[in-house]
Chain A
Amino acid sequence: MTPVPPPGFTSTHLIDPFELHVGPIFEQGVKGARRFAFIVDARHINMRGILHGGMLMTFADAALGQAAWDACDHARCVTLTMQSQFIAPAKVGDLVEVAPVLTRRTRSLMFLRGDFTVVGEPIYTVSSVWKLLGLD
């Protein structure tokens, strides 16, 4: 039961086992300006029937990680810190979207943020810092 990409989106090429486990993830746009999305399904909800915060944080790490990768030409990088705010619930069938923003890139750090929406309404927001490995 692999969800079909929504109109205008293609499947993101994932390599991390945990992202393959929770995915697929979809994208549109070009390198450096990609928009990412996933469809909430029964695997992603909590016992109250709404989207689990863990899935949102995993999607955020994946989507902002893809954007970080775009920004550093696929150099190795890791998440140093991530701040999440949960604004509103989402339910099965919702399309959760984000267009990650590169706030700043230094030689060894990347600052990324993202506002996550369902049909244009904000549900979740994230800011994060990423480290390029091997650079002090």
Chain B
Amino acid sequence: MSTTVNALPPGAETVSIGGFNLFAGPFWRLAPDGEIRRFAFVVAEKHMNGSGNLHGGVLMTFSDVAMSQTARAANGARPCNTVSLNCDFIGPGRLGDVVEARVRVTRQTRTMIFLSADIVVGERVLGVATGLWKLA
């Protein structure tokens, strides 16, 4: 039985064109909330671990995609590379969850971008990620 809990908000646009981004996704861009850039995906069977929770690799992949998209948007679409990514796993994600990344640019210099992301399902926090991106 489908419920609205499993639905992406209207207006979601895919950011998964191909490669691992699509193979692990699909991931979606949502409308921004002020300075916060928002992304989402729906937890499917393939995203799970053996305990029936969202696999940590998916959470980190989603964080990387959301923060990389934000880094690119913040620097006028120049290519950039992930230099470091730190992720704390705070709570489990479950099948059917609509997981949202809320990404902030902490600081931008000429060549580096510092980002942070809260990974949430509604009020429930799944993870917090921070990372460093270098303009190519």
Contact = CB atoms under 8 A, between A and B. Distances in A.
For chain B, give the interface size range.
Answer: 20 to 34
A86 B81 contact: yes
Contacts of A44: 19-20, 23
Contacts of A61: 55-57, 60
A54 to B, nearest CB: 3
A80 interface: yes
A47 interface: yes
A64 B20 CA distance: 21
B61 A57 contact: yes
Nearest to A127: B86
A76 B50 CA distance: 11
A81 B56 CA distance: 10
B60 A18 contact: no
A62 B47 contact: no
B75 interface: no
Between A52, A55, A59, the greatest number of chain B beta carbons within 10 A of the residue's beta carbon is seen for A52
A85 B84 contact: yes
Interface string B56-82: 111011101100000000000001011
Contact of B20 (A19, A52, A62): A52
Contacts of A2: none
Interface string A77-95: 0111111111000000000
B83 interface: yes
A21 interface: yes
A48 interface: yes
Contacts of B57: 18-19, 22, 54, 57-59, 61-62
Given A46-B19, A57-B57, 15 more contacts: A15-B50, A17-B47, A17-B49, A17-B55, A18-B48, A18-B55, A21-B46, A58-B55, A58-B57, A58-B61, A61-B60, A79-B56, A80-B89, A83-B87, A84-B84
Interface of B: 17-21, 23-24, 45-51, 55-58, 60-62, 64-65, 79, 81-89
